[in-house]
């Protein structure tokens, strides 16, 4: 190697030694904390899942009986003032029913037709009376009730603001204990948001159906990293 090439190699190696410590020290001192916020609100929407199941000897008879009863149920919903856009068919089936047979192959004993609808209610106080009305109109299956919050996104935004404030509060406690002050936030990431659904099973009964909407809990978790600097009095 020529003297010039040797000097170039040494200069390059020296440059690496100078750069490495700078990269190691480039991360600023910081405090990382997790902020949390929870908001509990009463639901303002309810969805009732109901329907009709009919059994008969033939597929035609089962389907006919089911269609007739389901037609009465839909008319009852319309008479109750429920908009057509808030009524949606969720399940429709026609299946053979069988019994064990000594010959090995199950014997078909009849057919079962089933039709389910999901009814959305914009007034949760009408959930109990709607269930009673459905049962009175011929529904023999009530699959359950879902209570929901229509403005969940806006409420979650309020929770996000509170979660960041909670993160700052915690960071200031750590900073004071460590003898430093907070700088600007270096990173903010949401740990997760949840909108739980309250689900209840309600049995079909002619007596007034007890329904308790309760409250929905909306929660947000946020991870924040704050830069720190020496306290002003140091």
Q: What is the set of domains in the chain, with CATH numbers?
A: 28-42+151-230 (3.30.110.170), 45-97+108-148 (3.30.70.2970)
pLDDT score at 68: 96
Is residue 124 within 8 A of residue 213, CB to CB? The reply is yes
pLDDT at residue 208, rounded to an integer: 56
pLDDT at 29 over 50: yes
Mean pLDDT comparison of 7-11, 87-91, 212-216, highest-scoring range: 87-91
Write out the E strands in 64-170.
Answer: 87-99, 107-121, 141-148
pLDDT category at 186 given cuts 50, 70, 90 is very high
pLDDT, residue 12, reads 37
The mean of the pLDDT values for the chain is 81
At 201 the pLDDT is 37
Tokens representing 86 are 């808030």
Q: Give the integer Cα–Cα distance in Å for 172 and 1.
A: 59
- The residues with which 220 forms a beta bridge, in sequence order, are 37, 193
**Collapsed DSSP state (helix, strand, coil) of residue 169:** helix
pLDDT tens-place string over residues 32-84: 999 999 888 888 899 999 999 999 999 999 999 999 999 999 999 999 999 99
Token pair of 14 as six digits: 């020296």
What SS3 class is residue 210? coil
pTM of the full structure = 0.61
| pLDDT score at 17 | 37
Q: DSSP code of 124?
A: G
Taking CA atoms, 138 is separated from 24, 65, 70, 98, 107, in Å, by 74, 11, 8, 25, 30
Average pLDDT in the 142-155 region?
A: 85
């Amino acid at each position: 190697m020529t003297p010039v090439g040797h000097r170039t190699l040494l200069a390059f190696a020296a440059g690496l030694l100078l750069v490495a410590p700078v990269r190691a020290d480039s991360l600023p001192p910081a405090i990382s904390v997790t902020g949390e916020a929870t908001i509990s609100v009463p639901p303002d929407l309810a969805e009732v899942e109901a329907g009709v199941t009919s059994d008969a000897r033939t597929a035609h008879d089962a389907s006919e009986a089911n269609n007739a009863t389901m037609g009465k149920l839909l008319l009852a919903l319309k008479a109750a003032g429920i908009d057509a856009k808030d009524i949606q068919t969720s399940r429709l089936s026609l299946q053979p029913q069988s019994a064990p047979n000594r010959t090995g192959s199950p014997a078909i004993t009849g057919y079962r037709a089933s039709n389910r609808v999901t009814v959305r209610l914009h007034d949760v106080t009408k959930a109990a009376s709607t269930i009673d009305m459905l049962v009175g109109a011929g529904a023999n299956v009530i699959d359950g009730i879902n209570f929901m919050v229509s403005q969940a996104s806006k409420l979650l935004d309020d929770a996000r603001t509170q979660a960041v404030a909670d993160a700052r509060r915690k960071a200031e406690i750590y900073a004071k204990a460590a003898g430093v002050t907070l700088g600007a936030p270096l990173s903010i990431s949401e740990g997760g948001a949840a909108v739980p659904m309250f689900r209840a099973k309600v049995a079909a009964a002619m007596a007034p159906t007890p329904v308790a909407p309760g409250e929905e809990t909306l929660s947000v978790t946020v991870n924040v990293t704050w830069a720190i600097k020496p306290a002003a009095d140091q």
